[in-house]
Amino acid sequence: MLFSRLRGPSLAVLTCALGALSLSACATTGDAAPKTETASASSSRDRTMAPGLDGWANQDPYPSTYRGLPRQNMAIVGATVLTGAGQKIEGGVVVVTDGRIAAVGGADTPVPAGHQVVDARGRFVTPGIIDIHSHLGVYPSPGVQGMSDGNEATNPNTAQVWSEHSIWPQDPGFNTARAGGVTTMQILPGSANLFGGRGVTLRNVPSVTMQGMKFPNAPYGLKMACGENPSRVYGSRNQSPATGMGNVAGYRAGFIAARDYKAKWDKWREDGQGTPPTRNLQLETLAGVLDGSILIQNHCYRADEMAVMLDVAKEFGYKVTTFHHAVEAYKIAPLLAREGVCAAMWTGWWGFKMEALDGIEENAALTDAPEGSCAVIHSDDAELIQRLNQEAAAALSAGRRAGMNISEEHAISWITLNAAKSIGIDKETGSLESGKRADVVIWSADPFSIYARADQVFIDGGLAFDRQNPAFQPVSDFELGQPGFGQAAAGVAQGAR
Amino acid sequence: MRIKTLLAGAVAAIALTGPALAQDVAITGGQVLTGTSVIENGTVVIRGGKVVSVGTGGAPAGLRVIDARGKIVTPGFVAVDSGLAGTEVGSVRGSNDLANSANTLTAAFDLSYGLDPWSFTLPVARLGGVTRAVVTPRHVGSRGGGGHSHDDSDFAGAGDGGYQTPGLFAGQAAVIKLGGADILVKSKVAMTAPFGEAGATVAGGARGAEFVLFKETLAEVRAYARNKAAYDRADMRALSLSRADLEALIPVAEGRMPLIVTVNRAADIQQVLRLAREEGVKIILDGAAEGWLVADEIAAANVPVLLHPITNLPSNFEMRAARMQNAAALNAAGVVIAIKGNEGSAHRARDIRYNAGNAVSHGLPFAAAIQAITVNPARIFGFDGQFGELKAGAAGDVVVWSGDPLEPLSQPSAVLIDGVEQPLQARNLLLRDRYRTGGEGAMPPAYGN
């Protein structure tokens, strides 16, 4: 079984995942590895195809050029540290060496020589916030016609589109999100379609190109959508899907075709007989779901629909990684935990449509309760992404109102470590643990307070935002020369808008 | 055991809807934020549904006491630009009574007839400390205060961004209280009109058209007001508005009814201030995302502002200067501000306190933030001293909080409206309690109530 899978199309990705069990190892080799035809070269037959015709020969055609911001070794000392992995350390020390977390501990943790000491006494430190559901760059500000690139609403199955090809890196929303402590985002296509296309995970650094933000070696996600949106969009055009059952027929048809496509490629790779299959971007992405290299990120509100989607996954032999907008996750919390599926939720949004009617503030707390759960809080919004800590605070408060005993050091995982898990980057970031990327936020106060502000935000150990220093408050090209440009409002510079 | 559970459910169901009687009560021992001042270890006495005293003395003998020691006591919050009781589910057209699209009835649209005291939005808002609301007609400019819509609902034509605005005016706002079977406090408290990009759309596409049309319309209203008898005899030139709309606009033209002008661009704000001055119209700015650029002009005109303090993105070309510091800057310039909730303050009216907190973390003094969700909205709409403040003679709208009311980790432990203690229950909590054990008992959750 393992052997046959390894001979399948996604060899490179699987080798990485199985061999190293760590994205960091993949990152070191992946960054430097040649991008073409190495996987199946052992065969005697030459199966090299013309450039671009073999999707598995070059799995990374738009490679990350992310290099990280200038950084120095440092030790953040004296803060209350919420590690993201469940610990709370008073007067803690976070040692950052070469852009990675080198040590996290109490006040007695030694600070290595040559490390700059950052005094964070009276403040709080958390991992960088991760938003797994953002449309920054694809639905940027200004949200005007001509910039609305998030929904390829031309067919219920557009698995062939990649959100990274819509991203406008000059979206000012990246900067405001960073000022809210967000260091990593998954940018997804919209929810008009059953299969909306691939999402991409970004480092939240200013960049002229999308590739300069791309999180090295993060797995792709496939955006799927349940419910009202696809059936309304296509039903109103007298097309399928017009109903929930039409939605499910559409998913099944997509995966039937993908199974067939994958089998043809597997066979050709195995024996090299006959004409190679013709590359199909739509089916290639779905086949990537079937071989486990692309993670399902499924917009799905209702409990009953999530349960159906879990069965669709079983029918075709793939896994749902995360349900998004899982407004009714709390109704099936034990099921989600048993299946090992993450649920990404809001705290405050409810009632704007029928499938959001039963949204409750306690959703994260209740979904989080069973053993093995994976509760995540996400934004899907350019304003909310700036305040995911407050959305988590409101969820925590609702849980406590219900008499649940939930600590802040646990609740912070909803926007850090669990979020990282839900998009497959938890070996790399999401918690302050040795070896991980030094994505760190120093907060002015307890991040569960409404008054807390991100004072400094570090990405891979590089200072990406400093609330007190305009030199570290990036302003996008779009903002130059606009009304109010360069003016302080209430004494605050534009870069901290 | 089962009977007990069923009874508990029945009690909860009754508590959710059944009006209780006003009780005389004293709230003692808390830190009282009256709306304009702070009293440590204060006592708020309510009789006959109204506040009769606020001070430091003990509770009068014989009065029921709510112990607020270690807690914070505030007036109930006042939601402005709100959709409370006028909508149930955003995308369900039949459950929405906040907008009208008939072009024969625009200014005259009176949403108070459509407000539902049994709306499930009200108990949810009460849990966020909201006790009064200025319910305001929606129009094409109503969502001018946000980044990008969640969930693509707007893109797909649902959600509350899809309102059509048939004329210059979107109708008249009403004030409600969030308790009891008769929630209407006063109808027709203000007229509404979109300006800026949205208003231009109504007039034909350009801002210059809207201003001319606006002046022309007021001229017609005045002509009508002077010549009603001739109008009734059909002895008058044709007017563009229906008689009902003309009637509704008379108090606006005469400066007696405030006009809520939704506008965001600084340049548009300047134009609207000039228009109001020239026409003698009393206005309230709504939105004003770029207001800080012209804060002194707004202050000089003595015009209040309803704002969404977390609007900080250049979502379109009329809010390129949007900043988190807008509330702080306007307040510092002397502008009277009221802070809005999220998403039209219907389902998310409860977020008012968080928005106020974010204004504080971006420079607005705490006391000013409390005023912006209590005293100021009451004053802006002409209810000074009647609610939104803990002082003798005001309505007995009081909330007792476990801590700082602007903090998410604080929750209310008591909510009173007109002296009536409200059940801390809502549909969302019933759902919570039904599923808190995971919904996997021997019997389906539906048997659990």
Domain boundaries, given as residue ranges, for chain B: 77-387
Q: Which of A14-28, A208-222, B426-440 has the lowest mean pLDDT?
A: A14-28
Beta-carbon separation of B266 and A483 below 8 A = yes
Measured between beta carbons, the chain B residues lying within 8 angstroms of A357 are 89
Q: Which DSSP string corresponds to B255-306?
A: TSS-EEEEE--HHHHHHHHHHHHHHT--EEEEE-TTGGGGHHHHHHTT--EE
Residue ranges of B 264-283 with Cβ closer than 8 A to chain A: 265-266
Q: What pTM value is reported for the model? A: 0.93
The predicted pLDDT at position A317 comes to: 98
Q: Are A421 and A295 in contact (CB under 8 A)?
A: no
Q: Are A156 and A193 in contact (CB under 8 A)?
A: yes
**Of A229, A352, A363, A380, which to mutate for an interface test with B (greatest number of B Cβ within 10 Å)?**
A352
CA distance B336 to B351: 20
Residue ranges of B 70-99 with Cβ closer than 8 A to chain A: 88-92
CA distance to partner chain A, nearest, from residue B86 (Å): 13
Please report, for residues A177, A200, A387, B88, B143, the alpha-carbon distance to residue A182 in angstroms, rounded to integers and kept in the order given.
6, 15, 9, 34, 26
H/E segment holding residue A457: strand A454-459
Residue ranges of B 19-78 with Cβ closer than 8 A to chain A: none
CA distance to partner chain B, nearest, from residue A335 (Å): 9
H/E segment holding residue B229: helix B228-232
Task: Return the structure tokens found at A445.
Answer: 């106060």
Enumerate residues 6+ apart whose C-beta is below 8 A from B201: B140, B165
**What does residue B375 show for φ and ψ, rounded to 5 degrees?**
-65, -45
CA distance A79 to A90: 6
Q: Is B216 on the interface with A (CB under 8 A)?
A: no
Q: Are A382 and A141 in contact (CB under 8 A)?
A: yes
Measured between beta carbons, the chain A residues lying within 8 angstroms of B157 are 232, 236
The predicted pLDDT at position B390 comes to: 98
Residue ranges of B 347-376 with Cβ closer than 8 A to chain A: 347-348, 350-351, 354, 357-358, 360-363
CA distance B196 to B39: 43
* Structural domains for chain A: 130-429 (3.20.20.140)
The predicted pLDDT at position A10 comes to: 39
Beta-carbon separation of A151 and B312 below 8 A = no
Place of tokens 């048809």: A253
Mean pLDDT of chain A: 92
pLDDT tens-digit readout, A198-214: 999 999 999 999 999 99
Task: Return the structure tokens found at A455.
Answer: 């004072």
pLDDT tens-digit readout, A103-120: 999 999 999 999 999 999
Count of C-beta atoms within a 10 Å radius of residue A96:
27
Of the candidates A153, A354, A401, which has its C-beta nearest B411's C-beta?
A401
**Of B152, B154, B155, B424, which to mutate for an interface test with A (greatest number of A Cβ within 10 Å)?**
B152
Of the candidates B332, B408, B435, which has its C-beta nearest A490's C-beta?
B332
pLDDT tens-digit readout, A449-490: 999 999 999 999 999 999 999 999 999 999 999 999 999 999
Q: Which residue of B has its CA nearest to A352?
A: B90
pLDDT tens-digit readout, A68-99: 999 999 999 999 999 999 999 999 999 999 99
Of the candidates A142, A150, A349, which has its C-beta nearest B315's C-beta?
A142
Beta-carbon separation of B153 and A229 below 8 A = yes
CA distance B292 to B415: 35
**What does residue B91 show for φ and ψ, rounded to 5 degrees?**
-90, -5
Place of tokens 């973390």: B361
CA distance B145 to B136: 15
Q: Which residue of A has its CA nearest to B407?
A: A450
CA distance A122 to B121: 40
CA distance to partner chain B, nearest, from residue A332 (Å): 6
Amino acid code (one letter) for A358: D
* Strands in A45-115 per DSSP E: 74-82, 88-97, 100-105
Beta-carbon separation of B409 and A491 below 8 A = no
The DSSP output letter for A44 is S
CA distance B52 to B64: 14
Over range A363-388, report the average pLDDT: 98
The predicted pLDDT at position B162 comes to: 57
Question: What three-state secondary structure class fits A220?
Answer: coil
Global ipTM: 0.94
Beta-carbon separation of A448 and B409 below 8 A = yes
Over range A149-155, report the average pLDDT: 96
Q: Are A126 and A415 in contact (CB under 8 A)?
A: no
Q: Is B163 on the interface with A (CB under 8 A)?
A: no
**What does residue B167 show for φ and ψ, rounded to 5 degrees?**
-140, -175
Please report, for residues A49, A271, A283, A352, the alpha-carbon distance to residue A274 in angstroms, rounded to integers and kept in the order given.
13, 9, 20, 54
The predicted pLDDT at position A268 comes to: 94
| Short-list A129, A133, A127, CA closest to A322 | A133
The predicted pLDDT at position B143 comes to: 62
Task: Return the structure tokens found at A10.
Answer: 């996604």
Q: Are A324 and A298 in contact (CB under 8 A)?
A: yes
Which CATH topology does B77-387 take?
TIM Barrel (3.20.20)
Q: Are A187 and A135 in contact (CB under 8 A)?
A: yes
CA distance A111 to A15: 37
Give me the tens of pLDDT residue by residue for chain B, a chain 449 residues long.
333 444 444 444 444 444 456 689 999 999 999 999 999 999 999 999 999 999 998 999 999 999 999 999 999 999 999 999 999 999 999 999 999 988 889 999 999 999 999 999 999 999 999 999 999 999 988 864 333 455 665 443 333 445 667 789 999 999 999 998 899 999 999 999 999 999 999 999 999 999 999 999 999 999 999 999 999 999 999 999 999 999 999 999 999 999 999 999 999 999 999 999 999 999 999 999 999 999 999 999 999 999 999 999 999 999 999 999 999 999 999 999 999 999 999 999 999 999 999 999 999 999 999 999 999 999 999 999 999 999 999 999 999 999 999 999 999 999 999 999 999 999 999 999 999 987 788 899 998 76
Task: Return the structure tokens found at B19.
Answer: 């009006």
H/E segment holding residue A130: strand A129-134
The DSSP output letter for B433 is H
| Short-list B256, B87, B115, B108, CA closest to B171 | B108
- Answer yes or no: is pLDDT of A2 > 70: no
The predicted pLDDT at position B438 comes to: 76
